[in-house]
Amino acid sequence: MKRLVFFAMVLIFCVSAFTLYAQNQKEPQKKTAPSGVCPPFYLKDEAGNIIDPVNNVNADKPYSPKQTCGAKGCHDYNKITEGFHFTQGKGEKPTPDMEKRYLWVSTPGDYGGTWCSPAPLYRGLAPKKNTDPRKIDMTSFDYIAATCGYCHPGGGPLEYDREGNRYDEHMKKQGMKSGEENNLDGDYFKARWSDTGIIEADCLLCHMPEYNFKDRNKQIDNLTFKWAATAGSGLGKVEGSIKESKPVRVTYDISKFDDKGMISPHMVKEPRNTTCLHCHSKPGWKKRGASFSPRTDVHIRAGLRCVDCHPAGNRAQDKRIQGKEVHQIGKGDDPSGHVRDDLDNTMLDCKYCHTNGYLGASIAKHDGLPPHHLEKIACQTCHIPWRYAKAAQVQVSDVFNPAPKISPPPKRIWTFYDTDMNYWNHYGELNMFTKEDQTTNPFRPVLIRYKGKIYPANRVHSAWPGLMEDGKSGLNQPLMKDIFMMWQMHNENPSKYSELSRIVDDSGDGVPEVNKPEEIDAVINSVRQYLTDTKYDLTGKKVVWILNDKLYSSGNKWEKLPKHDYEASPYASVYKYSHDVAPAKAALGSKGCSDCHSKNSHFFFAQVLEYPFGDDGKPITVKQADLLGYKEVPSGRNPWTYWTGVFFKYLTIVVLFGLVVHMILDALRYYRKRS
């Protein structure tokens, strides 16, 4: 017995000792630094050296966001700049549709793609390799300088060339000369990277609410690219100009540095609406008639922020964009926006918030609404019944726009018509107004069927001179500046390209438009003549004129171009509306079913634009229901519905056939018997 007790005690001792040992062997908890707010830090220059203006160390150098924010142990600059806001399509292949249509497109994004213009003509990114300087339009350098850099936050094509070399370093390494032809390389032709430096991804542009875009963009105008981040952040004042060959000097604002020469600026994790709108407001106005204001948008009125629906990083819900430092911002799916299509619909959609009440969203009930409405009609269709600011429904690039305050002058080859087909001096308004001054111009959106659902949208219509190339599918565009110069020369001396004088106003709105055969011929002949005169090689090329999906090789000869049903033209954008959402009480259906199901409803019976100009210069329209492809309520697509229909149809035929035969025989017998 004593032996048994002894062994039991030894066993208990061993187990206890082992447990204590095992507990002590647990991994010590890793100490993590408090996160969420950056501690005071030093600015660093491009070489990674500390900039300390308080102690006059490297105080003459502009700071480098890459070296400062992307310093070891801080942020992953490379991962961050994979975001599509930085790449702007660089490195992506165009979509199959784009490859078939556009000969000038090399990526699906603004950089190398269809630019941010609703329709041609616009500046096209020059190919990397070129043989004829006459045909080089916009180089990567011009891409920044031609005001595209105003919005694009740096990194991507503003930092590296198409082969992944940093522009300024590569230029020096290859012995390229600033402002020279540099082997007609589309990234370096007449570029001045070695002087201007490059534009790194500028973190503070989004993360500093007080960021000064005006000062930053001034550096783009002055070609002082690498000083842009310093000026925009307000940490230093930049004087001088590469463009004007004035020495560039930075003077840091010492008051923003502590005694050690470190800074702790006001930075936020989630950009404010004003930051997003700095870039998205103007294009949103032109393309969609967007206002993004509490007056027009129930979400902004409720205090929501852009990032609430368009989250990124750890706040993103969608696994495709979720993760630390991931700067892919949740996005929707625009018919004409093809940058990172694989990330379409990564934002929080209406359903997400309005089914679970996220951020205090009201729960959508839709009582009494047959469910196929929600299946076939996008939320936006009913909840954006009206738009309140003009949008460019038509952009033509074949006549000269003499209206006031259009700047820079080449933009005069664009003439816009609003959604009521009235002439619209959009750039004049942009020159005079901010978005707060948008004139009130209510209109009903056109409805399109896109990916199986009905959406409100602006399907842009276009007319432009183009180039057909032998053996190639799709079209090319002449250089925007050529068409501008052609008109400019004609305006100064009407005997030059005199056929252009034939183009007159037929619609009576005071604005000439190309619509009659002789006017079409005038455009085609004049463009051909101008290009020939200016040594543009037209071998294997033919000048044509395109109106929406009609390709005119002469005034009387045209062929149809393939396009999607939701498009007005294969060469003009389609912009869905998702912002400026009306409250439920103002949505379609709030006054009952007759909002749509009545003979005067806009939903089915509105006349929507098919071609901007007919023979009389007046618009040609089509019934909205026809555009949506309505033949009957599409209920046969679901196999269950289809077979239910088939069953009842055959049941009806068989039963009625039997009954009618029975009746006829019965009647015949009766009369036969009587006779």
Partner 1 sequence: MFLSVTALVITAIPLWCLRYPHSRALTGIIDFFGGLEAIRTWHHMAGWILTFAFAYHLLYVFVHPEGRRDFLLMMPRRKDFQDLYHNILYFIGKRNEPPQFGRFSYFEKFDYWGAFWGCIIMVGTGLIMLYPSKANSLLSAGLGSTIFAVALEAHYHEAILATLALFIWHMFNVHVRPEKFPGSLVWFHGNITEKERHKEHPLEDEEIDKYKTFKEQ
The residues binding partner 1 (CB under 8 A) are 370-372, 374-375, 592-594, 596-599, 601, 604-605, 623, 625-626, 628, 630-633, 635, 638, 640-641, 644-645, 648-649, 651-652, 655-656, 659-660, 662-663, 665-672
- Spatial separation of the C-alpha atoms in residues 376 and 562, rounded to whole Å: 25
Minimum distance between the CB of residue 664 and partner 1, rounded to whole angstroms?
A: 9
| Minimum distance, C-beta of residue 604 to partner 1, in the bound complex (Å) | 5
Q: How far is the CB of 593 from partner 1 (least distance, A)?
A: 4
User: Minimum distance from CB of 481 to partner 1 (Å)?
Assistant: 46
Least Cβ distance, residue 610 to partner 1 (angstroms):
16
Nearest distance, CB of residue 588 and partner 1, angstroms: 13
> What is the DSSP secondary-structure string of 439-480?
PP--BPPEEEEETTEEEEEEE-EEEEEEEEETT-SSEE---H
Do the beta carbons of residue 129 and residue 186 sit within 8 Å?
Answer: yes
Q: 3-class SS at 257?
A: strand
Nearer to partner 1, 492 or 632 (CB): 632
Q: Are strands 607-611 and 620-623 parallel, antiparallel or unpaired?
A: antiparallel
Contact at 8 Å (CB) between 588 and 444?
no
Which one, 127 or 634, has the nearer CB to partner 1? 634
Return the number of the residue (358 or 650) whose C-beta is nearest partner 1.
650
Q: Based on CB atoms, which residue is closest to partner 1, 249 or 649?
A: 649
* Beta strand residue intervals within 132-218, DSSP E: none
Q: Please state the closest distance from residue 618 (CB atom) to partner 1, in A.
A: 22
The CA distance from 407 to 471, in Å, is 38
* Sequence-separated (6 or more) residues with CB below 8 Å from residue 257: 52, 53, 54, 263
As a whole number of angstroms, the distance between CA 350 and CA 359 comes to 12
CB-CB neighbours of 435 under 10 Å: 16
State the virtual CA torsion across 221, 227, 229, 235 in degrees, nearest 10. -120
User: For tokens 């201007």, what's the residue?
Assistant: 196
**What CA–CA distance (Å, rounded) separates 54 from 63?**
15
Q: Rounded to whole angstroms, how far apart are CA atoms 236 and 148?
A: 24
- Of the pair 350, 596, the CB lying nearest partner 1 is at 596
Q: Specify the amino acid at residue 582.
A: A
Distance CA 358, CA 88 (A): 31
Give, in degrees to the nearest 5, the angle at Cα 137 between 136 and 143.
125
CB-neighbour burial class of residue 488 (10 A; exposed 0-12, middle 13-18, buried 19+): middle
Nearer to partner 1, 280 or 623 (CB): 623
Q: Which of 254, 667 has the CB closer to partner 1?
A: 667
Which one-letter amino acid corresponds to residue 155? Answer: G
CA angle, 40 then 44 then 48, to 5°? 130
CB 565 to partner 1: min, Å: 15
Q: How far is the CB of 374 from partner 1 (least distance, A)?
A: 8
Query: Closest approach of Cβ 642 to partner 1, in Å?
Result: 8
In the complex, the smallest distance separating the C-beta of residue 113 from partner 1, rounded to whole angstroms, is: 36
Closest distance of CB 641 from partner 1, Å: 4
Helical (H) or strand (E) element with 609: strand 607-611
Comparison of 21 and 640: residue with beta carbon closer to partner 1? 640
Taking the complex as a whole, the smallest distance from the CB of residue 460 to partner 1 amounts, in Å, to: 25
Q: Which long-range contacts (CB under 8 A, 24 or more apart) does 121-128 make?
A: 121/397, 121/413, 121/464, 121/465, 121/477, 121/478, 121/479, 121/480, 121/483, 122/477, 122/480, 123/479, 123/480, 124/477, 124/479, 125/186, 126/186, 126/189, 127/186, 128/162, 128/163, 128/185, 128/186, 128/187
**DSSP bridge pairs for 620:** 611
